[in-house]
Amino acid sequence: MHNSFLDENFLKLCKEYKQSDIALFKKAAQFASNHLTDKKRLMGDSYFDRNIRVAKILLENTAEPQIILVSLLIGIKEHSKIKEEFGIKITNLLD
C-alpha cells in the first residue's frame, strides 16, 4: 500500500471519525491500492493517488463515512467484489 494513505496527516484528518470508520477507510484504501495503483491517469499519477487526494479533502470537510469510502473506491470496475467487501449501499453509491 502507498504510504500516502497511512501518513500522519491522513490519520490526523480521521480523528473526527469512529474507529470502525477508520478501519473501513484503511480496508478500502488497501482494496483500491490493489486495483488502481497500476492504472495511470493522463497526468501520470495513478487513480489510487487521485482517490487518496480526494479522500483527504473529504476528511478535511468531515464528509459522511460512506462518501469517503466511495471516494477511495471510485474507478474500480469489479463492483461484485466491492459488494462482497463493503456491501450493497456502497456499491449503489458507486453506480
Span 75-93, pLDDT tens digits: 999 899 999 999 999 999 9
Return the pLDDT at 28: 93
Query: Cα–Cα distance between 13 and 5 in angstroms, integer?
Result: 11
Among 44, 43, 34, residue whose Cα is nearest residue 78: 34
**Between residues 55 and 45, the one the model is more confident about:** 55
Return the pLDDT at 51: 92
pLDDT at 4 over 80: no
What does the pLDDT average to over 1-6? 50
Cα angle 18, 81, 93; round to 5:
60
pLDDT at 2 over 70: no
